[in-house]
Amino acid sequence: MSDEPATVLGALQFLAAEGFAVSFSLGPDGFRCGACGTAHVLESVEVVRVFRFEGPSDPEEEAVVYAARCPFCEAGGTLVSSFGPGADPELADRLVLLETRFEGR
């Protein structure tokens, strides 16, 4: 698609317009929904879109935007994460799991 957003901010605006307006976060207790406040195991989260951005000059700036749906309240939202070499390896593993959820659809 030629109208794919080119920046993280652009992706967030694009997804908010598509109904993915809630903020999700990833923590030790799993995938936390900003709408209902519930944490979920990643296996239960439905990943709808993935946007990947390369840092223009610095690989540390690499970022991924996930559009997902909360399995509890069904709110659509986004999770933004850096995926560069500086990322926490445990967190990176969780993000790979999210990507698998997307690619396995």
CB of 88 to Zn ion, least distance (A): 24
CA 3 to each of CA 6, 9, 15, 51: distance values in angstroms, whole numbers, following the listed order: 9, 14, 12, 12
66: Cβ–Cβ under 8 A, 6 or more apart, which residues?
24, 47, 49, 50, 78, 79, 80, 81, 98, 102
Q: Is 73 in the site for Zn ion (CB under 5 A)?
A: yes
CB of 86 to Zn ion, least distance (A): 29
* x/- letters, 25..44, toward Zn ion (CB under 5 A): --------x-xx--------
CB of 68 to Zn ion, least distance (A): 10
Select from 39, 49, 62, 72 the one that contacts Zn ion (CB under 5 A): 72
Asked if 92 contacts 83 with a C-beta cutoff of 8 angstroms, the reply is: yes
Residue 45 or 63: which CB sits closer to Zn ion?
45
